[in-house]
Structure 1
């Protein structure tokens, strides 16, 4: 199947899609992105993802390419044209094309790319059932991690280290020995009292849309959530560990570096969270995180 992408106002065969050599995203990482999960042919938390995209654009003073409503309609059309039932949509907005100069150019049109890919839910469900292994790695990213920028080299280095170690993810560690987040996930632990602990939203982490959805869904779970940094030692000694992301929803972690968590199987609280997310994505309201992104 020849996949279709939306590139700067036109639907085009993905094999023919191209960006200009002086696109500032290509030359300076001067752009932002979002990935919206698609399950059952519908966007999951699409409104929340577009709200976060708008925030990232504002923080970098990049013009919005169109309204959220128009972009959502294009996303649905890209999903339809590519016949994606389960998978994801990638959205990238760069400042646009301009002669190379570090300073922001004036009166330049932003560049927009949207494409979709299928991803069967089988692997996610197997990971949720069995749990995943992670490693810890130094956090080498820039200081504005709250902006979902396309500059992901440090994240890629951490993810590659995890892959080479046979792990699913790398939880990154700041200079004080505290966990920030995963290379493409938010990090959570369950302490011995059964409380969920995760780093508070701020410049140090990306405020995940799935993270926000879990906080909102906690009305059903009735668990205590504590937003504070936690250390590598707390991570390894936790009752349970799990991660959240748009692609994986919630996944239990059963091993950190060389330390087995609990009995090496997903714990009862992580399992409840996984089950709650599965009910959520199969329901009618899949925009629970909307309006809850960091201002």
Structure 2
């Protein structure tokens, strides 16, 4: 039985309750973050907190009074649930004003704040990192503000199910002929030892792991080019990979049935995963 956090209280998970009038339930009006835990320490917490504040601001959503306590709350949940490797999920919504209405409630309505943990033993040693992902391409039908990390995850969920139906592990979404991102990750190809990934805009999530990985890549003298790329370019790439807070750096070995490079995780991606984990653990809190 996990201990979870709901609006100031630490509770057994079966006692945690949120109003049926909460706008995240009725409108998808909420934002979230997921922070990895390795060795009992939080990875990239400051980056996730900064992006959370940006998401709130972009939606004109009031900041909850516990913003300054979020690190302590994360740590307490990690301690209470004895998490060595795993995830901490945080969700903030516009709250429950009392009845359903499309118009935003008064800013005095208290936001709803929920946190819980997921235990993932051996998170950094996933066997998938040694075999790689198979990817299917799908049309990107999401709303235009993918840079805001909202709880509106229906289409990404549908995308994952489309990928599974095609015998793949995940999907890359395509808009106007170019890859935007994965269903829950940022997408990359490697050609001639150059890492290529879509530039930041409203079209993709500004990944916290993405920022760290690109920084570490440049520090390791790897070339990085931020530009659009197509599925055909991806099929012709030497290597490919995705990044996310829960998967770190994960190789991609097949796209739409076409093998990438040798069809096995490549040396650059394998090394980049090692660098990310080594450097992130040095500054974990």
Q: TM-score range by the shorter chain?
A: over 0.9
Partner of 1:211: 210
Give how far 1:164 is off: 2.2
Give how far 1:272 is off: 1.1
Does residue 178 in structure 1 map to residue 178 in structure 2? yes
Give how far 1:205 is off: 0.2
- In the alignment, the residues of structure 2 paired with residue 68 and residue 27 of structure 1 have an alpha-carbon distance, to the nearest angstrom, of 24
Q: 1:124 to 1:149 in 2, by over 3 A?
A: farther
Partner of 1:100: 100
Give how far 1:122 is off: 5.5
Partner of 1:290: none
- In the alignment, the residues of structure 2 paired with residue 120 and residue 177 of structure 1 have an alpha-carbon distance, to the nearest angstrom, of 39
Contact 2:186/2:207 (CA < 8 Å) preserved in 1? yes
Partner of 1:187: 187
Q: Deviations over 1:176-198 (max 9, x none)?
A: 1100000000000001x211010
The answer for unaligned runs of 5 or more in structure 1 is 288-295
Query: How do 1:7-26 and structure 2 match up within 5 A?
Result: 7-26=6-25
Partner of 1:286: 284
Query: How do 1:28-47 and structure 2 match up within 5 A?
Result: 28-47=27-46
Runs of 4+ aligned structure 1 residues displaced above 6 Å come to: none
Q: 1:145 to 1:108 in 2, by over 3 A?
A: same
Between 203-212 and 260-269, the greater mean CA deviation after superposition: 260-269
Give how far 1:128 is off: 1.3
SS of corresponding position for 1:155: helix
Q: Deviations over 1:94-147 (max 9, x none)?
A: 000012110111121100000111112268531111211111111110000000
Partner of 2:265: 266
Give how far 1:64 is off: 1.0
Partner of 2:152: 151
Contact 1:185/1:243 (CA < 8 Å) preserved in 2? yes
Partner of 2:47: 48
Contact 1:39/1:281 (CA < 8 Å) preserved in 2? no
SS of corresponding position for 1:243: strand
Query: How do 1:124-143 and structure 2 match up within 5 A?
Result: 124-143=125-144
SS of corresponding position for 2:127: helix
TM-score (normalised: structure 1): 0.93
Give how far 1:278 is off: 2.4
Partner of 2:274: 275
Q: 1:79 to 1:123 in 2, by over 3 A?
A: closer
How many pairs does the alignment contain? 283
Give how far 1:260 is off: 0.6
Partner of 1:57: 56
Between 119-128 and 269-278, the greater mean CA deviation after superposition: 119-128
Give how far 1:166 is off: 2.8
